[in-house]
Structure 1
Amino acid sequence: MAKLLMGVTSSISLQLLRGQLEYFSKQGYDIHLICSPSGEIDQALPENITVHNVRMTREIALFSDLLSLLQIIMIYLKVRPDITNVSTPKASLLCMIAAFLTRTPARIYSVIGLRFETCTGKKRKLLRFIEKLVCKLSTVCIAVSPSLKEVLVEERLAPREKICVLGSGSYNGLNLEEFQLDESKVSSLKKRYLPDNQGKVIGYVGRLTKDKGIDDLVATFTELSMEQENLTLLLVGDFEAGDMVAPLTKKRIEENPHIIKTGFVSKTASFYRLMDVFILPTYREGFGNVILEAAAANVPVITTNVTGAKDAIVPDETGLLIDAGDIIAMKKTLLTLLEDNALAEKLSRNGHVRVSREFKSEIIWQQLERLYSELEADKQDVYEVEK
Structure 2
Amino acid sequence: MSNQSNVILFVVNAPEFFLSHRFPLAVAAKKSGYEVHVATAEGPDIERIQAQGFIHHVVPFARSGQNPLNELGTLLCLTKLFRRVKPSLVHLITIKPVLYGGIAARLAGVKSVVSAVSGLGTVFLAESAAARLRRWLVTVMYRSAFKQSHLAVIFQNPDDRDALLTLKALMPEQARMIRGSGVTLSDYSYVPEPEGKPVVVMAARLLKDKGVFEFVEAARLLKQRGVSVEMRMIGSPDPGNPTSVNQQELDQWAAEGQVEFLGYRKDIAEQYAAANIVCLPSYREGLPKSLVEAAASGRIVVTTDVPGCRDAIIPDKTGLLVPVKNAVALADVIETLIDSPDLRKRMGQAGRALAEDAFAIEKIVEQHMDIYQELLKP
Shared fold per TM-score greater than 0.5? yes
Q: CA deviation at 1:31?
A: 0.8
- Equivalent positions of 1:334-353 (< 5 A) are 334-353=334-353
Q: In the alignment, which residue of structure 2 is the partner of 1:137?
A: 145
Give the alignment partner of residue 76 of structure 1, picking from 82, 92, 105: 82
Alpha-carbon distance in 1 for matches of 2:132, 2:346: 40
Describe the SS at the equivalent of 2:73. helix
Describe the SS at the equivalent of 1:39. coil
Q: In the alignment, which residue of structure 1 is the partner of 2:303?
A: 303
Structure 1 segments of 4 or more deviating over 4 A? 246-249
Q: In the alignment, which residue of structure 2 is the partner of 1:151?
A: 163
Q: In the alignment, which residue of structure 2 is the partner of 1:254?
A: 254
Checking the alignment, whether the CA contact within 8 Å between 1:315 and 1:321 is kept in structure 2 is: yes
Q: CA deviation at 1:63?
A: 2.1
Q: 1:84 to 1:45 in 2, by over 3 A?
A: same
Checking the alignment, whether the CA contact within 8 Å between 1:54 and 1:71 is kept in structure 2 is: yes
Deviates more, 1:156-165 or 1:334-343: 156-165
- Equivalent positions of 1:22-37 (< 5 A) are 22-37=27-42
Q: CA deviation at 1:218?
A: 0.7
Q: 1:134 to 1:127 in 2, by over 3 A?
A: same
Q: In the alignment, which residue of structure 2 is the partner of 1:384?
A: none
- Equivalent positions of 1:33-48 (< 5 A) are 33-48=38-53
Give the alignment partner of residue 220 of structure 1, picking from 215, 218, 221: 218
Q: In the alignment, which residue of structure 2 is the partner of 1:9?
A: 13
Describe the SS at the equivalent of 1:275. coil
Checking the alignment, whether the CA contact within 8 Å between 2:190 and 2:352 is kept in structure 1 is: no
Q: In the alignment, which residue of structure 1 is the partner of 2:361?
A: 361
Checking the alignment, whether the CA contact within 8 Å between 1:218 and 1:249 is kept in structure 2 is: no
**Deviation readout 1:211-254 (Å, 9 max, x if unpaired):** 11111111111111222354221111012232124888534432
- Return 5+ residue gaps in structure 1 as ranges: 191-196, 381-387
**Deviation readout 1:286-338 (Å, 9 max, x if unpaired):** 01221111111111101111111111111111111111012221111111111
Checking the alignment, whether the CA contact within 8 Å between 1:181 and 1:270 is kept in structure 2 is: no
Q: In the alignment, which residue of structure 2 is the partner of 1:63?
A: 69
For these two proteins, the number of residue pairs brought into alignment is: 364
Describe the SS at the equivalent of 1:43. helix
- Equivalent positions of 1:191-206 (< 5 A) are 199-206=197-204
Alpha-carbon distance in 2 for matches of 1:126, 1:209: 20
Q: CA deviation at 1:140?
A: 2.2
Q: In the alignment, which residue of structure 2 is the partner of 1:106?
A: 112
Alpha-carbon distance in 2 for matches of 1:109, 1:8: 11
Give the alignment partner of residue 173 of structure 2, picking from 155, 158, 161: 161
Q: 1:45 to 1:200 in 2, by over 3 A?
A: farther
Checking the alignment, whether the CA contact within 8 Å between 1:58 and 1:90 is kept in structure 2 is: no
Q: 1:42 to 1:267 in 2, by over 3 A?
A: farther
Alpha-carbon distance in 2 for matches of 1:261, 1:26: 40
Alpha-carbon distance in 2 for matches of 1:38, 1:246: 23
Q: In the alignment, which residue of structure 1 is the partner of 2:25?
A: 20
Q: In the alignment, which residue of structure 1 is the partner of 2:285?
A: 285
Identity %: 23
Q: In the alignment, which residue of structure 2 is the partner of 1:208?
A: 206
Q: 1:52 to 1:78 in 2, by over 3 A?
A: same
Q: In the alignment, which residue of structure 2 is the partner of 1:383?
A: none
Deviates more, 1:230-239 or 1:133-142: 133-142
Q: In the alignment, which residue of structure 1 is the partner of 2:189?
A: 180
Checking the alignment, whether the CA contact within 8 Å between 1:111 and 1:141 is kept in structure 2 is: yes
Describe the SS at the equivalent of 2:9. strand
Judging by fraction of residues, say which structure has more helix: 1
Give the alignment partner of residue 52 of structure 1, picking from 57, 63, 69: 57
Q: CA deviation at 1:100?
A: 1.2
Q: CA deviation at 1:128?
A: 4.8
Q: 1:124 to 1:238 in 2, by over 3 A?
A: farther
Alpha-carbon distance in 2 for matches of 1:43, 1:133: 33
Q: 1:37 to 1:180 in 2, by over 3 A?
A: same
Describe the SS at the equivalent of 2:75. helix
Describe the SS at the equivalent of 1:38. coil
Alpha-carbon distance in 2 for matches of 1:101, 1:44: 27
- Return 5+ residue gaps in structure 2 as ranges: none
Q: TM-score, normalised by structure 2?
A: 0.90
Q: CA deviation at 1:71?
A: 2.1
Q: CA deviation at 1:130?
A: 2.1
Q: State whether structure 2 residue 118 is matched by structure 1 residue 117.
A: no
Alpha-carbon distance in 2 for matches of 1:45, 1:131: 35
Q: CA deviation at 1:78?
A: 0.9
Q: 1:213 to 1:251 in 2, by over 3 A?
A: same
